[in-house]
Chains A and B, each alone.
Chain A
Amino acid sequence: MHIVVCIKQVPDSAQIRVHPVTNTIMRQGVPTIINPYDLFALEEAMRLRDKFGGEVTVLTMGPPSAEDSLRKALTFGVDRAVLLTDRFFAGSDTLATSFALATAISKIGETWGKPDIVFTGKQTIDGDTAQVGPGIAKRLGLMQVTYVAKVAEYDGEERTVTLERRAEGGTQVLKSSLPCLIAMLEGTNEIRRGTMADALRGARAEIVKWSAKDAGVEDLTKCGLKGSPTIVKRVFAPSPRAEKAQMIEVPEGASLADALIDDIFKRQPNLEPDLTALARGF
């Protein structure tokens, strides 16, 4: 089987700082990581490969420095890494990104065999949109299943997969057909450390680098800013609340707990009868 995993290199957002005057992200010196949600997709893909045989190709679109994330993925034990990088891709929104990735996945299919499954993470931590996976699926005509907790069955002969999908209020068990796109849910597995051999191989392995043209993009107007229907008009910091919290003072002879409860009921008079009713078991 052939599996393609799409990953994204993102700034480690725990360490993001915003420039106080210009309101832009200060990227300098902020370490980058593989989008944490994508690690679940990587691990699930490698587990399937280990069980059924085949190859895992990891794909990312990004600046040349995104090579770091691909290198990392190689040390986990993926078989091949492709970096899609070109200034024409700069400023892509989710629609343009899914166009570029879908085109590259077609090219990967022509070069190393059609993928049976394309994996993505649930969403990224910098964009948070969860739209690129569905975008790729629609562009390539793949069956789309998002929020997948588990690939329960894979049948290469019958060309079907059985998936457990997180839905509102429960788990949907779905049978779909290959090829399909799976967006993995977080917390579903744990990324392996990779063996010593993987680490050595990963450090040396060649990373395939494609420009838009290499990947087979014919219409450059579908890429980058030009190919993006959405535009960001304004970026700003959340406005601080005018007043700070009022600190509870303990009146003489009363407890802090009682003082707090008095204060809560003074501010929200309707809460008292409602909570009382609840406490009485209504």
Chain B
Amino acid sequence: MSEPKKTPAAGGRASTKKELPEHFKAYKHVWVFVEQERGQVHPVSWELLGAGRKLADKLGVELAAVVLGAEGETVRHAVAESFCYGADLAYVVADPVLTDYRNEAYTAAMTTLVNTYKPEILLLGATTLGRDLAGAVATTLLTGLTADSTELDVDADGSLAATRPTFGGSLLCTIYTLNYRPQMATVRPRVMSMPERVEKPVGKVIEHPLGVVEADIVTKVLNFIPDRDSSKSNLAYADVVVAGGMGLGSPENFQLVRQLALTIGAEYGCSRPLVQKGWVTSDRQIGQTGKTIRPRLYIAAGISGAIQHRVGVEGADLIVAINTDKNAPIFDFAHVGLITDAVRFLPALTEAFKKRLSAHSTDKLAS
């Protein structure tokens, strides 16, 4: 009764022949939910358009962006940008009821669109909003949903194959939704790479009415309290990340990580035990149950490299690991390793970077 299921049971079912019921055969095209709130499109939407483009090309179908929100500049901008990130067309439900995210209204908008225009694949970001919406939409439509996929592909007969980590990342499994439509999946931010933005004119836009009025919606938003700037981290999208783990030994020593990060303009992060101990806030946790990162440079100090941590950092271009134990699992996937005491080494590295970067800039200025 676990989800996903055990292999032996699944094996039997997987071998059953695929017979898509007649009424699902009309379902075509790939849709991506373009998530926007308070004037901002979540970048995971563009990452999904990139992934969706590949699926649509393989299937020989169209890629559509789905934009929901209050009529206005934000929706117009989201639609226009969707075309630059690869969409062939956009479905738009613009209504003041959709100003703030509320499950009832968004579920109504999405299910109406799906029932009317019938996509075969529907992708959403695995954000707080996307996960809340996806679960409700899948149940309403009585279809399958694969959460937190890390790989999407279509197989020879056109079915979506969504691969996701399971059991805390110790295994991967590939999940299909064979006899139901649409095939739904969510993907965490930064798991897919950002596609290149290509300037394009706005293409075909299909507007659809919401069909629900404010009086129908029970839940009211009383207030929105934005996170304080100081606690806002851009960890998932940072170019350079420095992180510390239990090897640092104390919350005071974690300051060494923050100092290095500050010096080189990086974001700082940590492994899970530091959050559990209350040394670092949870929005800084990297890994399976924290953030996925894809920086150009990742420096991990005193982190053993457990599988749950590894899955969150594997997309980094360059991984540097600092650890006293030459057998630490992090050296199995880091590109560069240093076997040394991080507590002593980090201040030296910070100083060396300071010198290097400032020396470099004066060189340049002088020339």
Does A193 lie at the interface of the complex (its beta carbon under 8 Å from any beta carbon of B)?
no
Q: Is B320 located at the chain interface by the 8 A CB criterion?
A: yes
Closest to A13 in B: B168
Do the beta carbons of A229 and B177 come within 8 Å of each other?
Answer: yes
Secondary structure call for the A interface: mixed
Kindly identify which residue among B139, B166, B219, B348 contacts A139, using a CB–CB cutoff of 8 Å.
B139
Give chain A nearest CB distance to B64 CB in angstroms. Answer: 22
Contact string against A for B residues 345-363, beta-carbon threshold 8 Å, 1 for contact and 0 otherwise: 1001101111011101100
B265 and A168: CB pair below 8 A?
A: no
Q: Does A106 contact B (CB under 8 A)?
A: no
Interface size bucket, A side?
A: 35 or more
Question: Using a CB-CB cutoff of 8 Å, which residues 23-48 of chain A contact chain B?
Answer: 23-25
Please tell me if the beta carbons of B338 and A260 are within 8 angstroms of each other in the complex. Answer: yes
With A133-B135, A169-B38 known as contacts, the answer to whether A246 contacts B336 (CB < 8 A) is yes
Question: In the complex the two chains form, is A245's CB within 8 Å of B364's CB?
Answer: no
Instruction: Name which of B5-13, B68-76, B77-85 contacts chain A.
Output: B5-13
Contact A125 B168 (CB under 8 A): yes
Across the interface, which residues of B come within 8 angstroms of A260, CB to CB? Answer: 320, 336, 338, 349
Q: Which of B38, B107, B296, B357 makes the CB contact (< 8 A) with A276?
A: B357
- Asked whether B179 is an interface residue with its Cβ less than 8 Å from the other chain, the reply is yes
Taking CB atoms, residues of chain A closer than 8 Å to B116 are: none
Q: Which of A89-97, A199-207, A211-219 binds B? A: A89-97
Flag if A232 contacts B10 (CB, 8 Å). Answer: yes
State the interface size on chain B (CB cutoff 8 A): 109
Judge whether A51 is part of the interface by a CB distance below 8 angstroms: no
* CB neighbors of B among A102-135 (8 A): 124-135
- Docked Cα-Cα span, A174 to B132, in Å, equals 15
Bound form: Cα–Cα A270–B136 in Å: 44
Are the CB atoms of A24 and B219 closer together than 8 Å?
no
- Measured CB to CB, the nearest residue on chain B to A263 is B336
Give the shortest distance, in Å, between A30 (CB) and chain B (any CB): 10
Determine if B171 is an interface residue (Cβ-Cβ < 8 Å). Answer: yes
Please give, as numbers and ranges, the residues of chain B lying within 8 Å of A147 by CB-CB distance.
128, 132
> Which listed residue, A139, A175, A228, A271, touches B220 by the CB 8 Å rule?
A175
Interface residues in A240-282 by Cβ distance below 8 A to B read 240-241, 244-248, 255-258, 260-261, 263-264, 267-268, 270-272, 274-276, 278-280
* Most chain A C-beta atoms within 10 Å of own C-beta, residue among B5, B135, B224, B351: B135
Chain B 325-352, CB-CB to A under 8 Å as 1, else 0, gives 0000011111111111000010011011
Q: Is B318 an interface residue (CB 8 A)?
A: yes
Tell me the total A-B contact number using a CB cutoff of 8 A.
326
Q: Is the CB of A244 within 8 A of B135?
A: no
From A95, A124, A176, A225, B144 is in contact (CB under 8 Å) with A95
Instruction: List residues 284-334 of chain B with CB under 8 A from any CB of chain A.
Output: 288-289, 296-297, 307, 311, 317-321, 330-334
Report the separation of the CA atoms of residues A34 and B174 in the bound assembly, to the nearest whole angstrom: 26
Contact A24-B6, Cβ < 8 Å, known A135-B135, A233-B175, A238-B169: yes
Given A131-B135, A168-B128, A255-B348: A230 and B2 interface contact (C-beta under 8 Å): no
CB distance from A53 to the nearest CB of B (A): 25
Q: CA–CA, A238 to B6, complex, Å? A: 17
A233→B226 contact, CB < 8 A: no
Please pick, from A61, A145, A257, the residue contacting B352 in the complex, using a CB distance under 8 A.
Answer: A257
Interface contact B171-A236, CB-CB below 8 Å: yes
A147 to B131: give the CA distance in the assembly, Å: 10
What is the distance, in angstroms, from B321's C-beta to the closest C-beta of chain A?
A: 6
CB proximity of A4 to chain B, nearest CB, Å: 18
CB-based contact B357/A275 at 8 Å: yes
| Minimum CB distance partner of B136 in chain A | A134
Q: B residues within 8 A CB of A241?
A: 332-333
Once bound together, how far apart are the Cα atoms of A225 and B178, in whole Å? 13
B 227-240 to A, binary, CB cutoff 8 A, 1 in contact else 0: 10000100000011
CA distance A7 to B12 in the complex (A): 29
Alpha-carbon distance between A228 and B297 when the two chains are bound, in angstroms: 42
The distance in angstroms between the C-alpha atoms of A89 and B353, with both chains bound, is: 59
Q: In the complex the two chains form, is B139's CB within 8 Å of A98's CB?
A: yes
In the bound complex, do residue A144 and residue B136 qualify as a contact, i.e. CB atoms below 8 Å apart? yes
Q: Is the CB of B227 within 8 A of A231?
A: no
What residue of chain B has the Cβ atom nearest to residue A175's Cβ? B220
Instruction: Kindly provide the distance from the CB of B4 to the nearest chain A CB, expressed in whole angstroms.
Output: 5
Contact sample, A vs B, 17 pairs, CB 8 Å cutoff = A16-B170, A95-B138, A127-B2, A129-B135, A133-B135, A139-B139, A144-B103, A168-B129, A172-B224, A231-B10, A233-B161, A235-B7, A235-B173, A237-B172, A244-B332, A261-B353, A280-B361
The 5 closest A-B pairs by CB, nearest first: A134-B135, A278-B265, A229-B144, A245-B337, A257-B352
Chain B residues at the A interface, C-beta cutoff of 8 Å: 1-10, 13-14, 37-38, 40, 42, 100-104, 107, 127-129, 131-132, 134-136, 138-140, 142-148, 161, 165-180, 218-227, 232, 239-240, 263-265, 282, 288-289, 296-297, 307, 311, 317-321, 330-340, 345, 348-349, 351-354, 356-358, 360-361, 364
Which A residues are within 8 Å of any B CB, using their own CB? 10-11, 13-14, 16, 18, 22-25, 61-63, 89-95, 97-98, 124-135, 137-139, 143-147, 162, 166-177, 186-187, 225, 228-238, 240-241, 244-248, 255-258, 260-261, 263-264, 267-268, 270-272, 274-276, 278-280
